[in-house]
Structure 1
Amino acid sequence: MRKVVLFKSASEEYSKAFSEHDYESIFVEPLHFEIVNAQQLSTQLLRRDYDGLVLTSPRAVEALAQCWDPTKFAIWSTRRVYTIGEACCKKIKLQLGLDALGMTAGNSENLGKMIIAENSATSKLLFPSGNLSLETLPTMLQAKGMIVDTLTVYETKENEHLRADLMELNSSEKNPCCMVFFSPSGCEYIHRQLQTFSNKLYHLPHFAIGNTTAHKIENLGMEVAGVATRPKADSLVESVETFFSGKATI
């Protein structure tokens, strides 16, 4: 059975999807997240002048969940909530009790087009995000005249055990066939650590969960073997399968 390294927290969904195609999943978490500005977030959630809420990452949802009170923030049940992907939509429903739009958006650009189409140019949006979040979406909305209040609600840091985890994986007999990256920041931390010791991991095929992560891989001087068409487990498996089936026919 081939083994694939997934640079994310352990996930039954991804493990099952790969297992169904005879791959064993090895999870390595490259990131550590710290919730910040909780009091400021609570204060802004009480304001009544926002037309919508934008949550583009699971960590942003978790930050809200830590201070969330459905009775205190009841106004948000009548406002539009936007996100990217099915996983975040489900997380928002489970942890906040809100119905979110954007399940099929796929990326920030598509979500931006949806928000622009559904809101007036004078709309005001609250955008809780991470310290390393890209400015793609806020810039796109602000260019249309919308007011976007961004607030850093979590900070992304390197997992202090990342180098040790990579060294252990490299010296083991697991011999993975490829590596999958899930965020630009994760790419950077992993790439940096792989430069610090001799290893066989660096030369494995690199796959990305989306275009933003793929661009980061390329910017770091590495080749992208494949990109998931959607940020979902089955799409990722399909990308890996396509790559290796092509290799088999050569």
Structure 2
Amino acid sequence: MKKVVLFKSVSEDYEKVFSDQKYEVIFVEPLQFEFINLQELGEKLQRDDYEGLILTSPRAIEAVAKCWSPSKFVIWNTKRIYTVGEASSHKTKLLLGLEALGATTGNAANLATLIAKENVDTSKFLFPCGNLRSETLPDMLSDKGMTIDAITVYETKENENLRKNLMELNDLMNPCCMVFFSPSGCEYIYRQLQTFNNKLSTLPHFAIGNSTAHKIENLGVEIAGIATKPKAENMLESVEQYFRTLKPCS
């Protein structure tokens, strides 16, 4: 059975989609997170001068959820909530009870375009984010005249077990490819791969989106494929398309 490494936290969706096609899935989480500024976030969530809320990562949604009180924050029921991807949209509904827009946009640039199209230029949005956020979305909306109130609500750090996990992958697992899910994850992984002789760097590398793909390329590694959408099915299709043209890995 082919083994594929997914550099992300365990996901039932990815497990099922890849397992149904006879892949053994190995999850390796390269990141760990620390939530910060939650009191300030809670105070901002009580204000009524925002047109909406922008949530571009699962961790940002979790940060809001840690402050969330449906009775206290009832004002958000009438405001626009934007997310990137269907998974984040589902998480927003599950944790916050709010319907989100933008689930099919797929990336920050497309989401920014949608927000600019649906809102007036003087709109103000609350943007909880991480310390390694991309400036694509706030820059695009600021250029339109919108006010983006960004607050850092979590810090991204390297998983303390990453090197050990990578060495186990290299010595014991014999995977046929690796899938990357964030630019910061790529950076931490390659920082550790440079500390020991490994076979992993030569494996086909796949990315969930363009920003992650660009990061991998900037590290001097060729990309084998990019998912057309940030979904398990599309990631699988990218992997399958690559191997259809090659001798199948064992």
1:37-83 deviation digits (Å, cap 9, x = unpaired): 00000011111110010000000000011110011111000000000
Aligned equivalents of 2:214 and 2:169: distance in 1? 25
TM-score (norm 1): 0.98
Which residue of structure 2 aligns with residue 121 of structure 1? Answer: 121
Which residue of structure 2 aligns with residue 229 of structure 1? Answer: 228
Aligned equivalents of 1:229 and 1:188: distance in 2? 22
AA of the residue aligned to 1:121: D
What root-mean-square deviation, in Å, do the aligned CA atoms of Structure 1 and Structure 2 show?
0.8
AA of the residue aligned to 2:243: F
Which residue of structure 1 aligns with residue 64 of structure 2? Answer: 64
AA of the residue aligned to 1:124: K
Equivalent position SS for 2:245: helix
Percent identity over the alignment is 66
Which residue of structure 2 aligns with residue 161 of structure 1? Answer: 161
Equivalent position SS for 2:62: helix
Aligned equivalents of 2:169 and 2:225: distance in 1? 22
1:114-169 deviation digits (Å, cap 9, x = unpaired): 10011000000000000000000000000000000000000000000000111111
Which residue of structure 2 aligns with residue 20 of structure 1? Answer: 20
Which residue of structure 1 aligns with residue 46 of structure 2? Answer: 46
1:202-233 deviation digits (Å, cap 9, x = unpaired): 11000000111000000111100000000000
AA of the residue aligned to 2:241: T
* Structure 2: unaligned runs, 5 residues or longer: none
1:4-56 deviation digits (Å, cap 9, x = unpaired): 00000111110111111111100001000111000000011111110010000
Which residue of structure 1 aligns with residue 82 of structure 2? Answer: 82
Aligned equivalents of 2:233 and 2:197: distance in 1? 33
Aligned equivalents of 1:110 and 1:136: distance in 2? 10
Which residue of structure 2 aligns with residue 101 of structure 1? Answer: 101
AA of the residue aligned to 1:93: K
Which residue of structure 1 aligns with residue 33 of structure 2? Answer: 33
After TM superposition, give the deviation of residue 248 of structure 1 in Å.
3.5
1:94-128 deviation digits (Å, cap 9, x = unpaired): 00000000110011111011100110000000000
* Structure 1: unaligned runs, 5 residues or longer: none
> Larger deviation: 139-148 or 163-172?
163-172
After TM superposition, give the deviation of residue 171 of structure 1 in Å.
1.2
Aligned equivalents of 1:12 and 1:80: distance in 2? 29
Which residue of structure 1 aligns with residue 184 of structure 2? Answer: 185
Equivalent position SS for 1:202: helix
Equivalent position SS for 1:247: coil
Which residue of structure 1 aligns with residue 11 of structure 2? Answer: 11
Equivalent position SS for 2:224: strand
Which residue of structure 2 aligns with residue 244 of structure 1? Answer: 243
Which residue of structure 1 aligns with residue 199 of structure 2? Answer: 200
List, as ranges, runs of 4+ consecutive aligned residues in structure 1 with deviation greater than 6 Å: none
